[in-house]
Amino acid sequence: MEKNNIHKFEELDVDKFLAPENEKRSVLAPDGSIVEIDPLKDYFCQDRPEELKPRSGPVEKFLNWARAESLWVLGFGTGCGSIEIPPLVTPRFDMYRYGVQMRPTPRQSNVFIISGYLSVKTLKRAIRSYEQMPSPKYIIALGSCTINGGMYWDSYNTINRLDHYIPVDVYIAGCMPRPEALLAGFAKLKELIKAGKAENANEYARNFDWYKANQKKIIKDWNMPDFNW
Amino acid sequence: MDLKNLFQMNPDRSQYPEMGEDGKPIIDLSSHKYLKIWQGPQHPGVTGNMSLELTVDGDEIVESKTHVGYLHRGFEKLMERRKFIQCFPTCIRMCVAEPDPNEYILAACIEDLGGIEVPEMAQWLRTLALEMARLQVLLRGVPGQGGTFALGLGYQWGNYIRDLILDRFEELTGGRVYHMYILPGGVRGLLPDGFKKRMEENLKLADEFVKSIDDLMYNNAVFKQRAVGLAHIPKEWIDKYGVYGPAARAAGVMRDVRKTHPYLKYAELDFEPYTTTESDVYARSRVRWYDLQTTIDLIRQIMAKMPEKGEIKAETPNVMHWRIPKGETYQKCESSRGEYGLYMVTDGTDKPRRVNLKGPSYTHANALLDKLLINANIADTAGIMVSLATCPPEIER
Amino acid sequence: MIELIKDIESRFNTSDYIQKLKHLAFITVEKKQAISLVTYLRDYHKYSSLTLLTAVDWIEEGKFQLTYLINNPQNFTEIGVRVMIDRENATMESSHHLWENMATYQRELREMFGIDFPGSPRIEENFILEGWDNIPPYRRDFDTKEYTENTYFPRPGRESNDPATYMKSKMYPND
């Protein structure tokens, strides 16, 4: 696979939007030497995401079973749907019994619940969180607004179709979906993973250029690396 | 590099930050004395989807800037494109945790400008819905304060009882979180059969919860040590910064729209909002705990005093063609966080000209929080935010 | 409240006084005197708390209406001070020195309506939007539906109708 071709996308005037801490600069190290720093290159892996080929038969089956039984959810309430996630942790709905639990950082989680509409400003953060999650990773899209815009179909600041920006595994319709619907969504996701059909992280790697072009179309102040993990 | 200084246990920080002539700290990030960290939007210690740009010196915050806009949907613009009745599903989503005050203020604005009298029974039912909404928010919010100081158990108990209240809402309105119960001219329905009995059972559980949370949180040594004396709001700041509701009452200033401008049936109910003067995180949490008791008591009073049957909706014009004459008004109510108001301007067409929501979080989370966080520890940020009851969707709408 | 209004009218060039509710009144003042009136009410009549500052776009008249809604915590009354300013190059004197929370309102107005308040703290920074390059969204001439259709990818199959005409055509097709 061709690597490091991040310049393939439409060149944006990045310098205009850079925060001062992201600008190129030289820094005096404690030992007296001068170090050149380019924060947008230095701290991030510049490689494109790669497609992971499934292992052979029974091994992949076992791995899929293991993945399905421990879904760790990223605790990022991106929209109003996040109000129905706390009840899931309480004894009445109790998602722990399905092996589902909340994690505070993307590095530890493999399920991202997009809880409702995404404004452009949040989409930018959601993409970064998604890319930082280790593969295999799955996305559950909550609420009608992720499907076609829902309530906010004519709002100038919310996206209409989530699947144009990040690949979605399971949609849960409703405004807002009940906790039971969320549990049903987790059950559906488990089925998909066990059947080996939840391959959207690979889908993202395959159609990386298309997703990036869509993202850059609406995020006009693109002041972050093209890919980071 | 001076190693002694590096490993010193209690470094002398009194020299940082150096103050400029205008009273603002001089912060030079390249001097290695300060570090800039972002708390949020993806952070468990932030109430919802917002972020704080913190400049820290060691563990201590020297400068804080609130960044909002992650939940902006442009409601005020969307409502200009919708007929008055279509505004309701949009308006209630402005504050997710407590949607009923949104419904009420929008209905009150339309009734005021359109000249509609609300029947008595509908007023009682509206009061009941508003108090139930306050109850379900406080059942999450009061133990939520403990959650920010690593005391998660109360949060689980509170959420369980909140779910039961949401069940009652479901019986009453058909919706779990978003209710759309209050409409211009009245409400959508009467109480279902046996509602009062089931509500009373839930209120008994809530009573027990109030007692147990007192033992669990307010007499807990860790909670007391961390919350007492944290983020003090002086009395002079109340008007200067725009502090409302429980935060103002903790500073000894009576700010409760239910008492100062009695709306609906609050004039006929017997209650006295609690005030204290300590004005720290502990006092603000305590005020909300007393509010929880007041609310439970108010729901009992409302259910005892309200008539069994009656007119629940006044005659309104056909909502599809309803034109409201030119005018402007400001209607407010008391949410669990403080004064919650809607400013509406109409121009004689079937759509509002301009709608502007004023929520307490707008001032609490911007001007006030930036000021309160200075000299606080990073670990206390979440506690301070929750004590001000910050609700991001109502800041940016 | 009548005495207060008489006092104001004797000192400032005001018009269009409306007593909307028992505790709520609106009054229009000319642009030059607006900040002095708000300061006068704050300092001499105990209208010490700012409820909100917002703008209304009267595009037909080429004006923006600014509303300073201030309240008196002693007798619980509220006054809305309306100011009409020109829509072209809209600028207003900043009043961030009166209340600490005023700067936030002015930042929002600058971003959403394009009204400038020179000298207000952090006025140049983004408040809600990020990377916005169109006309300010709360202005009436900004069409949010058209912008959405061109920018985000609308899912095909969703149509919206004007509810009044749609219901009429469904319920009374013969009319």
Question: pLDDT digit string (tens) for A118-129?
Answer: 888 888 888 888
Instruction: Name residue, tokens 């009062």.
Output: B196
Residues 6+ apart with CB under 8 A from B173: B129, B179, B180, B181, B188, B189
**Can you tell me the distance from the alpha carbon of C153 to that of A149, in angstroms, rounded to the nearest whole number?**
10
Which pLDDT belongs to residue A7?
40
Joined together, the tokens standing for residue C141 give 């001439």
**For residue A113, which phi and psi values (nearest 5 degrees)?**
-90, 110
The residues on C that touch B, with CB distances below 8 Å, are 20-21, 23-24, 26, 48-52, 54-57, 65, 67, 69, 73, 76, 78, 80, 99-101, 103-104, 126-130, 137-138, 140, 142, 144-145, 163-164, 167
- 3.40.50.150, 3.90.1170.50, 1.10.645.10, 3.30.470.10: which CATH number matches B75-396? 1.10.645.10
Residues facing residue A71 across a β-bridge? A100
β-partners of residue A27 are A35
CA distance B151 to chain C (A): 33
Interface contact A82-B48, CB threshold 8 A: yes
Q: Who among C131, C152, C158 is closest to A17 (CB)?
A: C131
- A3 pLDDT higher than 60: no
User: What is the average per-residue pLDDT within A89-113?
Assistant: 87
pLDDT, chain B, mean: 85
Residue B102 pLDDT more than 60? yes
B contacts of C55 (beta carbons < 8 Å)? 354
Domain boundaries, chain B: 3-67, 75-396
pLDDT digits (tens, 9 = 90+) for A147-169: 888 888 888 888 888 888 889 99
How much is the pLDDT for B290? 92
Question: H/E element holding A193?
Answer: helix A179-194
**H-type alpha helices, B92-194:** 100-114, 120-148, 153-173
> What is the model's pLDDT at position A13?
59
Cis peptide preceding B25, ω within 30 of 0: no
Could you tell me which residues are beta bridge partners of residue A171? Answer: A141
Q: Check CB contact under 8 Å for C154 and A149.
A: yes
Q: How far is CA C150 from CA A118, A155, B49, C111, C133, in A?
A: 17, 12, 27, 22, 14
Contacts of A43 (CB under 8 A, 6+ apart): none
In SS3 terms, A143-162 reads as CHHHHHCHHHCCCCCECCCH
Q: What local confidence, expressed as pLDDT, does residue B289 receive?
A: 92
Residues of A in contact with B69 (CB under 8 A): 119, 121
Question: How far B272 CA lies from chain A's nearest CA (Å)?
Answer: 31
Tokens at B93, concatenated: 């989503």
Q: What are the tens digits of pLDDT across the range B349-364?
A: 888 999 998 888 888 8
Gap between the Cα atoms of A112 and C102, Å rounded: 38
Whole-number CA gyration radius for chain C: 21
Residue among A158, A84, A129, A56 nearest C128 (CA): A158
Of A121, A159, A160, nearest to C130 by CB-CB distance is A121
pLDDT of residue A2: 38
Could you say which of C148, C153, C160 has the minimum Cβ distance to residue A156? Answer: C148
CA dihedral (B178, B180, B181, B185) in degrees, to 10, reads: 160
> Cβ(C26)–Cβ(C20) under 8 Å?
yes
Q: What is the DSSP letter of C61?
A: T
- The pLDDT value given to residue C165: 83
Q: Report which of B69, A76, B37, A20 is spatially closest to residue C131, judged by C-alpha positions.
A: B69
Task: Look at C163 and B320 and tell me if their CB atoms are within 8 Å.
Answer: yes
Would you say C96 and C102 are in contact if contact means Cβ atoms under 8 Å apart?
A: yes
**Under a CB-based contact definition with an 8 Å cutoff, are residues B84 and B319 in contact?**
yes
Q: CA A220 to CA A215: how far, in whole Å?
A: 9
Q: Which of A143, C79, C97, C60 minimizes the C-alpha distance to B348? A: C60
**Chain A: partners with 3+ C-beta pairs within 8 Å:** B, C
Token pair recorded at residue B123: 């007023």
Residues of B in contact with C65 (CB under 8 A): 345
Burial B257-269 (b: 16+ CB within 10 A, else e): bbebbebbbbeeb
């179709």: which residue's tokens?
A161
Instruction: Return mean pLDDT, chain C.
Output: 86
* CATH architecture observed for domain C2-171: 2-Layer Sandwich (3.30)
Match 């400029």 to its residue by tokens: B20
Q: What is the pLDDT of residues C73-111, one digit of tens each?
A: 888 888 989 999 988 888 888 888 888 888 889 988 988
- Work out the number of other CB atoms within 10 angstroms of the CB of residue B337: 27
- Domain regions of chain C by residue span: 2-171
C32 within 8 A of C16, measured Cβ to Cβ: no
pTM: 0.86
**CB contact (8 A) between residue B330 and residue C23:** no
Q: Could you tell me if B320 lies within 8 Å of chain C, comparing CB atoms?
A: yes
Mean of pLDDT over chain A? 82
pLDDT digits (tens, 9 = 90+) for B151-173: 888 888 888 899 999 999 999 88
**Residue B32 zone, left/alpha/beta (φ > 0; ψ -120 to 50; rest):** left
pLDDT at A5: 39
Strand order in the sheet with A71-74: A100-103, A71-74, A111-115, A138-142, A170-172
Q: What is the pLDDT of residue A21?
A: 67
Contacting residues of C for A20, CB less than 8 Å apart: none
Q: In Å, how far is B53's CA from the nearest CA of chain C?
A: 13
Overall average pLDDT of the C38-47 stretch = 88
Which residue has tokens 């709360």? C138
Strand B25-26, strand B18-19: pairing: antiparallel
Mean pLDDT of A69-86: 85
Q: What does the DSSP 8-state code read for residue B313?
A: B
pLDDT beyond 70 at A44: no
A77: nearest CB among B49, B81, B93: B49
The enclosing H or E element of B384 equals helix B381-387
Structure confidence by residue, pLDDT tens digits, C98-148: 888 888 899 889 888 888 888 888 888 888 888 888 888 898 888 888 888
Decide if A153 and C154 are in contact by the 8 Å CB cutoff.
yes
Residue keyed to tokens 């020297």: B62
| Integer Cα distance of B247 and B372 in angstroms | 13
Helix (H, G, I), strand (E, B) or coil at C16: strand
Instruction: Assign A15 a pLDDT band (cuts: 50, 70, 90).
Output: low
The beta-carbon neighbor of A161 closest among C137, C153, C160 is C153
Averaged pLDDT for residues C26-40: 89
Would the pLDDT of B308 be above 70? Answer: yes
Measure the CA–CA gap between A11 and A8, rounded to whole angstroms.
Answer: 8
The Cα B92–Cα B183 span in angstroms is: 11
Measured between CA atoms, how close is A217 to chain C, in angstroms? 8
C-alpha–C-alpha distance, residues B29 and A37, integer Å: 15
Write the DSSP symbol of residue B377.
Answer: B
In this complex, do C76 and B83 lie within 8 Å of one another by their Cβ atoms?
Answer: no
Q: CA B271 to CA B283: how far, in whole Å?
A: 20
Is the CB of A157 less than 8 angstroms away from the CB of C129? yes
Query: Is B280's Cβ below 8 Å from some Cβ in C?
Result: no
Contact B159 A90 (CB under 8 A): yes
Residue of chain B whose alpha carbon sits nearest to that of C49: B239
The residues with which C97 forms a beta bridge, in sequence order, are none
Instruction: Give the separation between CA B390 and CA B359, rounded to whole angstroms.
Output: 10
CA distance B292 to B73: 31
- Residue C10 sits at the vertex; the CA angle it makes with C6 and C12, to the nearest 5 degrees, is 110
Q: Which band of pLDDT confidence, cut at 50, 70 and 90, is reported for residue A187?
A: very high
* Predicted confidence (pLDDT) at residue A208 exceeds the cutoff of 70: yes
| Residue A210 CB neighbour total at 10 angstroms | 11
Residue, of C151 and B27, whose pLDDT is higher: C151
Q: Residue A25: how many CB atoms within 10 A of its CB?
A: 13
Order of strands across the sheet with B51-57? B35-39, B51-57, B60-67
Enter the tokens of residue C71: 């309240």
Q: Which residues of B fall within a CB distance of 8 Å from C100?
A: 237, 240-242, 367-368, 371
Q: Does B53 touch chain C (CB under 8 A)?
A: no
ipTM: 0.88
Give the chains touching B; criterion: ≥3 Cβ pairs < 8 Å. A, C
CATH 3.40.50.12280 fits A57-218, yes or no: yes
Q: Is the pLDDT score of B19 beyond 80?
A: no
B140 contacts A155? CB cut-off 8 A? no
Residue pair B358/B333 in contact (Cβ under 8 Å)? The answer is: no
Kindly tell me if the per-residue pLDDT of B397 is higher than 50.
yes
Q: Does C21 contact B112 at a Cβ distance shorter than 8 Å?
A: yes
Site of tokens 């402005």: B94
Give B354's contacts in chain C (Cβ within 8 Å). 54-57
Residue B336, both tokens: 């669990």
Look at residue B131 in the predicted model and tell me its pLDDT.
Answer: 92
